[in-house]
């Protein structure tokens, strides 16, 4: 067994520029590979150096404490032994209480952009310390360690803890936000029904785990596709969590729609407001140009090419993901991460007067006659408390109604395919003569 001596790195981080020093602590549960990295307390006890004895396979260092006591070998793992003692944690007077955020598919492309935004404070604010709970699988556990190492090397002052694990019952413990990104991509020749089933099982399990161990008011944002139906499965498996707390990400579609309208109108995209995406995050989604505004005016007054609005605009938003894949060779990751940030911020900051945002939410009690018991993108507003209310007085004309009905029918068909996962009986899967598509599949 080799002994490694580690000294505190020189840094300009507000955390580490005091006499705080690295300490060793560990919370590894070998049974399910839950690994724990705790970042320093604000007033960590000074110590000049730490030592860490590393076993030959470099997997399980032994932590030697300042007081000479030795933590058992199985308790800590590699770089995750380089932790601070959370028990010593104190909050500053200006910082809020730490919140825990779970991210699944944390070794994937979207997460690779998202995690660093979360840790930087640009999502929950510069006074909000966070703990990140990263969920992966046996496939990705090594990569997840790499992600955690990069987070560590970024010296984010607000990032207080990083856990990685493969068991949702461990990773979701007490989390206040769950960003569910991990999902199997649809491979060549794979039926959409098969995708619904495979991913549905992931989201059924994660719903159960959230129900059992997450904070009772956890907010859940499902990104992994098909995200609306995955969100429905998740919420049906989590009966103790309010159904209202579950969202399917359609904010990327909203952002794409705003961009296309701005481009056509020759304005900067911050001039576009009141943009609703109705329905499914698929090629049946309905970007609503009837109620959207440019510089506060109805879009149809500003853009008089109505044929373009009905055809070109609508299709360009529905198929934007596919075009991106053709160009970039992979699906949108950076802009998806940005849209996740936007979606969260829309819930934790008050919606500007007169405006709204789109998110896929549970349809029960909706004022638009959309079938109940679906997750459907609709216009929402928030007071900034993490909750939202539906905007109730949006006009729906015949054009919109017809298209919204098509997206609704698609979601009803998807729901039938996953009845075995939602507790609604025996699944019957008939997705119609034309196989439905994710935005990235065209």
Ligand X SMILES: NC(=O)C1=CN([C@@H]2O[C@H](COP(=O)(O)OP(=O)(O)OC[C@H]3O[C@@H](n4cnc5c(N)ncnc54)[C@H](OP(=O)(O)O)[C@@H]3O)[C@@H](O)[C@H]2O)C=CC1
Ligand Y SMILES: O=C([O-])CC(=O)C(=O)O
Residue 117 and residue 123 in contact, taking contact as beta carbons nearer than 8 Å: yes
Q: What is the rounded CA–CA span in Å between residue 331 and residue 324?
A: 7
Q: Should residue 105 be labelled a site residue for ligand X when binding is judged by CB under 6 A? A: yes
- Strand-pair partners of 38: 161
Segment (H or E) for 286: strand 286-288
Give min distance, CB of 138 to ligand X, in A: 8
Taking residues 184 to 223 in sequence order and writing x for each that binds ligand X by CB under 6 A, - otherwise, the string is xx----------------x--------------------x
Q: Is 110 in the site for ligand X (CB under 6 A)?
A: yes
Q: Is 227 in the site for ligand X (CB under 6 A)?
A: yes
Among 109, 213, 338, 405, binds ligand X (CB under 6 A): 109
User: Left (φ > 0), alpha (ψ -120 to 50) or beta: where does 75 sit?
Assistant: alpha
Q: Measured between alpha carbons, how far is 260 from 7 in angstroms, rounded to an integer?
A: 52
φ and ψ of 361, to 5 deg: -130, 165
Given ligand Y, ligand X, none, residue 16, with its beta carbon under 5 to 8 Å by kind, binds none
Cα 6 from Cα 19, distance rounded (Å): 15
Q: Using CB under 6 A, list all residues that contact ligand Y.
A: 225, 252, 321, 331-332, 438-441
- For residues 289 to 328, the per-residue mask of contacts with ligand X, x marking binding by CB under 6 A and - elsewhere, is ----------------------------------------
249 - beta bridge partners?
none
Is residue 287 within 8 Å of residue 314, measured between CB atoms?
Answer: yes
Q: Which one among 44, 249, 257, 302 touches ligand X, defined by CB under 6 A?
A: 249
Between 136 and 157, name the residue whose CB sits nearer to ligand X.
Answer: 136
In the list 40, 157, 200, 224, the residue contacting ligand X (rule: CB under 6 A) is 224
Does residue 107 interact with ligand X by CB under 6 A?
yes
Contact 227, 249 (CB under 8 A): yes
Measured CA angle at 391 (ends 387, 396), to 5 deg = 150
- Residue closer to ligand Y (CB basis): 319 or 415: 319
What is each CA distance from 174 to 99, 131, 168, 171, 321, in whole angstroms? 9, 11, 11, 9, 34
| Contacts for 270 with CB less than 8 Å, ≥ 6 apart | none
Cα(251)–Cα(347) distance, integer angstroms: 12
- 29 catalytic? Reply is no
Which of ligand X, ligand Y, none interacts with 136 (beta carbon under 5 to 8 A by kind)? ligand X
Q: Which is nearer to ligand Y, 37 or 195 (CB)?
A: 195
- For the bound state, the minimum distance from the C-beta of residue 82 to ligand Y, rounded and expressed in Å, comes to 36
Answer for the pair 384, 394: CB distance below 8 angstroms, yes or no. Answer: no
- Which residue has the CB atom at the shortest distance from ligand X? 108
Nearest approach, Cβ of residue 373 and ligand X (Å): 20
For helices 334-348 and 251-265, angle between their N-to-C axes, nearest 10 degrees? 100
**Residue 210 is encoded by which pair of tokens?**
């959230």
**Residue 252 in the binding site for ligand X (CB under 6 A):** yes
- DSSP-derived 3-state class of residue 283: coil
- Beta-carbon contacts of residue 371 (< 8 Å; ≥ 6 apart): 363, 408, 411, 412
Task: Work out what residue 441 binds among ligand Y, ligand X, none; the CB cut-off runs from 5 to 8 Å by kind.
Answer: ligand Y
Is 216 in contact with 188 (CB distance < 8 Å)? no
Q: Exactly one of 29, 281, 306, 420 is catalytic; name it.
A: 281
Of 312, 280, 275, residue with least CA distance to 290: 275
Which residue in 240, 208, 200, 215 sits closest to 133, CA to CA?
215
Q: Which is nearer to ligand Y, 2 or 323 (CB)?
A: 323
Using rule CB under 6 A, residue 225 touches ligand X: yes
Q: Which residues bind ligand X (CB under 6 A)?
A: 105, 107-111, 136-137, 139-140, 181-185, 202, 223-225, 227, 249, 252, 281, 331-333, 336
What are the residue numbers of the active site?
A: 281
């Amino acid at each position: 067994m080799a002994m490694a001596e580690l000294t505190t790195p020189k840094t300009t981080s507000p955390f580490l520029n005091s006499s705080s020093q690295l300490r060793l602590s560990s919370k590894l549960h070998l049974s399910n590979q839950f690994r724990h990295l705790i970042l320093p307390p604000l007033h960590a006890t000074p110590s000049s150096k730490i030592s860490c004895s590393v076993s030959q396979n470099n997997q399980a260092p032994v932590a030697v404490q300042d007081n000479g006591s030795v933590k058992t070998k199985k308790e800590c793992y590699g770089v995750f032994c380089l932790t601070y003692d959370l028990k010593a944690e104190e909050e500053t007077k200006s910082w809020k209480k730490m919140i825990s955020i779970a991210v699944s598919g944390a070794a994937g492309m979207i997460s690779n952009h998202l995690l660093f935004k979360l840790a930087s404070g640009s999502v929950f604010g510069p006074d909000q310390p966070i703990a990140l709970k990263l969920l992966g699988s046996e496939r990705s556990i090594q990569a997840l360690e790499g992600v955690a190492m990069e987070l560590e090397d970024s010296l984010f002052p607000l990032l207080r803890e990083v856990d990685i694990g493969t068991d949702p019952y461990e990773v979701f413990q007490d989390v206040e936000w769950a960003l569910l990104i991990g999902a199997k991509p649809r491979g060549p020749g794979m039926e959409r029904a098969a995708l619904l089933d495979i991913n549905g099982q992931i989201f059924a399990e994660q719903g159960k785990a959230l129900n059992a161990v997450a904070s009772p008011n956890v907010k859940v944002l499902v990104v992994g596709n098909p995200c609306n139906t995955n969100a429905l499965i998740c919420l049906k498996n989590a009966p103790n969590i309010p159904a209202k707390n579950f969202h399917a990400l359609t904010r990327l579609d909203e952002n794409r729609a705003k961009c296309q309208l701005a481009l056509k109108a020759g304005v900067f995209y911050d001039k576009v407001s009141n943009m609703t995406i109705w329905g499914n995050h698929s090629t049946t989604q309905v970007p609503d140009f009837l109620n959207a505004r440019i510089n506060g005016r109805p879009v149809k007054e500003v853009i008089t090419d109505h044929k373009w609005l009905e055809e070109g605009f609508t299709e360009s938003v529905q198929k934007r993901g596919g075009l991106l894949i053709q160009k970039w060779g992979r699906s949108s990751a950076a802009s998806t991460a940005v849209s996740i940030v936007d979606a969260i911020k829309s819930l934790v900051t008050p919606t500007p007067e007169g405006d709204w945002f789109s998110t896929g939410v549970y349809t029960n009690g909706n004022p638009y006659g959309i079938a109940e018991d679906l997750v459907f993108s609709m216009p929402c507003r928030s007071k900034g408390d993490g909750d939202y209310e539906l905007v109730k007085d949006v006009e729906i004309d015949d054009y919109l109604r017809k298209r919204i009905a098509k997206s609704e029918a698609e979601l009803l068909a998807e729901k039938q395919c996953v009845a075995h996962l939602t507790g609604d009986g025996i699944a019957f899967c008939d997705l119609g003569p034309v196989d439905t598509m994710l935005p990235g599949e065209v």
